[in-house]
A and B are shown apart, each in its own frame.
Chain A
Amino acid sequence: MTPLDDPALVRVLAADGTMAPTPAAERYLPLIDALTDAELETFYRDMVSIRAFDVQATNLQRQGQLALWPPSFGQEAAQVGSARAARAQDHIFPSYREHVVTRIRGVDPLDIIRLMRGLTHGGWDPTDPKNGNTHIYTLVLGAQTLHATGLAMGLVFDGKSGSGDPERDEAVIVYYGDGASSQGDVHEAMVFAASFQTPEVFFLQNNQWAISVPVATQSRSPLYKRGEGYGIPSLQVDGNDVLASYAVSKVALDEARAGGGPRAIEAMTYRMGAHTTSDDPTKYRTSDEEKAWAERDPIARMRAYLEGRGAPQQFFDDADAEGAALADDVRVRTNELGTIPRVHMFESVYSEAHALIQEEQRWLDDYEASMEGGAQ
């Protein structure tokens, strides 16, 4: 049995875009039915736009404009569904390829570009309201699951969850991958989350490959079953089905926000591109496999569904144009990015003055000033 045949899998849309709920999806159908046409169209536009951005960013890396790019190509549905399920007051902890999650929350995609170009180590301020409580990318696998859990513990301590007021209660959603699930920090995060009954959703995007190592090498059982071992209600969803991803995330976040403790979701998806622009997937996986997953493309699936509901061609053309505009805007603004002043290196290492840093900064200033013509 392949994981996608597991009867416990939540799937609403079949790969051809027809409504074909699995038994596990039945309880979520009222949530799907409640979605408006505008919301459904937003899901689609989100996915199309970020794919255009992702392709553009990959090209920018190939052209030497970025040091690295981690593509999100193929994982759009899991990300859009989960991010659209979060409320404004919820806190988001991405890993490093949740490009559409950050965009939905308000982060400027150029902030990710700046990080991957080598201009920042973060890129945006999670405390700035315009960024929607979205934390910066973390490149150390799984480390952010503990940060998310700590923040969620604080929500419990401060009475910011479980009050019964869904307009006020807050929750945390943390993203990580199948590779990160092998990290000890993810284990410890789940132990702490269960111990303190945090209002938190662990959202695992199983894209089948940890760079070149398949998930089967890292886990003998479906990854969602690990959650049960911690006493965390867990399920598996078709991550290429944006409707199912939305529904399971909404229920899990609502339950966590209401004080029900942590939840875990394993979204079965596929990284259709490389892990990052540094690797070459043709060395470790077959074209047959890639072809099989391409037939489950999340955007094609949702497009077929919307076409079946009578969405006009103009809508799809507009969505494509919106994506192209985003990609063009990112290219233009990337080319306009300048450099950073050297003082940036010394700023923010500490919040308060540190004698050694101050001394080294003074030395560098004097050194630069002593150069012929002076430096910046």
Chain B
Amino acid sequence: MPISRALNAGLRRALETDDRVLLMGEDIGPLGGVFRVTEGLQKDFGPRRVIDSPLAESGIVGTAIGLAMGGFKPVLEIQFDGFVFPAFDQITSQLAKITNRHEGGVRMPVVIRIPYGGHIGAVEHHQESPEAYFTHTAGLRVVSPSNANDAYWMMQQAIASPDPVIFLEPKAKYWQKGEVDTDKPALPLHASRIVRRGTDVTLVGHGAMVTTLLQAAALAESEGTSCEVIDLRSLSPVDYGPLLDSVRRTGRMVYAQEAPGFTSLGSEIAATVMEKAFFALEAPVLRVSGFDVPFPPAKLEGTYLPDADRILEAVDRSLAY
């Protein structure tokens, strides 16, 4: 099924299995959300479980904090990545720190779903990759599925987490289909995963970039270079085990992300891999990123976003060391 339907199915199962789960966001009721991820859920679970909120992002997150204090497990939808910033204070100053400020006495099982990233030709504030703002904030967990099975299971795992989870949905992939095993999850929420084996270069990314990495790996294969591809899945905490194991085999790593490169998740991962696997490296860890400019007008997004060719250019640079 498509990722959007897998998310819907994951939300549905969470609503069925725990009556303290409730959904809240703008236009998520009869409309089913602008991406239809919540389609049909209000009809089946009612307006008290699936709540069309006023159009106010800080209000959505701030009231969810109060709901969580009252024993609910709110799952929030922020309509687009660029609209999360009106709620930034409630997320970073409040939600992330409530458990710590209460010395554990009050938990915050809140999930904030954010459709993020480019590739859809949208107008401004609709194509951004804000993950580093949230991975930089202690108290938050940040995850991003890249396929339907992960979307289905990671949604349920995020809702079950007693900690706040920023759930980044790669909106460009909402319609990408994949198999979903509804019997059991493949991995825990915070595990990274090798999605393609290879021996020469380790390619790492998350969300929509995983598809691009696989394209690059296929092209590299045709040129005689064997690339391993790792889907990060969890952005905070990062599961470094498979990354370090891989780079110790290949000696090379390229990290690809849509977000600007400066002080980004890729910067952090490059630094950590260099600290922990320095003697295994044959080349510096290279980053392929969006540029350090505001996300450009849609007609330039093809130039801005890393594609398979830019990843291959980095692979070549790595191999040249």
Contact = CB atoms under 8 A, between A and B. Distances in A.
Interface string B86-113: 1001100110010111111111000000
| Residue of B63, B64, B237 with most partner-chain A CB within 10 A | B63
Main secondary structure of the interface of A (DSSP, over half): helix
Interface in A178-204: 184-185, 188-189, 191-192, 195
Contact of B63 (A122, A125, A153): A153
Given A184-B58, A188-B59, A147 B237 contact: no
B163 A348 contact: no
A352 B237 contact: no
B2 interface: no
Given A149-B62, A150-B63, A191-B54, A140 B94 contact: yes
A154 B67 contact: yes
B161 interface: yes
Contact of B70 (A151, A352, A354): A151
A279 interface: no
| Residue of B22, B66, B93 with most partner-chain A CB within 10 A | B66
Nearest to A194: B54
B66 A151 contact: yes
A349 B102 contact: no
Interface string B170-212: 0000000000000000000010000000000000000000000
B310 to A, nearest CB: 29
Contacts of A138: 94
Contacts, number: 139
Interface string B232-248: 00001111100000000
A355 B135 CA distance: 13
Contact of B59 (A120, A148, A154, A191): A191
Given A146-B90, A150-B69, A352 B161 contact: yes
Contact of A185 (B53, B90, B107, B162): B90
- Interface residue tally on A, bucketed by range: 35 or more
Interface in A78-133: 120-122, 125-128
Interface residues of B, number: 46
B56 A357 contact: no
Given A155-B70, A351-B163, A188 B102 contact: no
A135 to B, nearest CB: 8
B126 interface: no
A348 B105 CA distance: 9
B299 interface: no
A152 interface: yes
Nearest to B52: A195
Nearest to B135: A356
Contact of A147 (B62, B86, B162, B236): B62
| Residue of B61, B103, B161, B190 with most partner-chain A CB within 10 A | B103
A351 B59 contact: no
| Residue of A122, A148, A154 with most partner-chain B CB within 10 A | A154
Given A184-B86, A188-B58, A348-B103, 12 more contacts: A125-B102, A138-B94, A146-B61, A147-B94, A149-B62, A149-B63, A150-B62, A157-B72, A185-B62, A189-B62, A347-B104, A357-B138
12 contacts: A122-B101, A136-B101, A145-B62, A146-B65, A151-B69, A195-B54, A350-B99, A352-B161, A352-B162, A354-B237, A355-B190, A355-B239
Interface of A: 120-122, 125-128, 135-136, 138, 140, 143, 145-155, 157-158, 184-185, 188-189, 191-192, 195, 347-352, 354-357
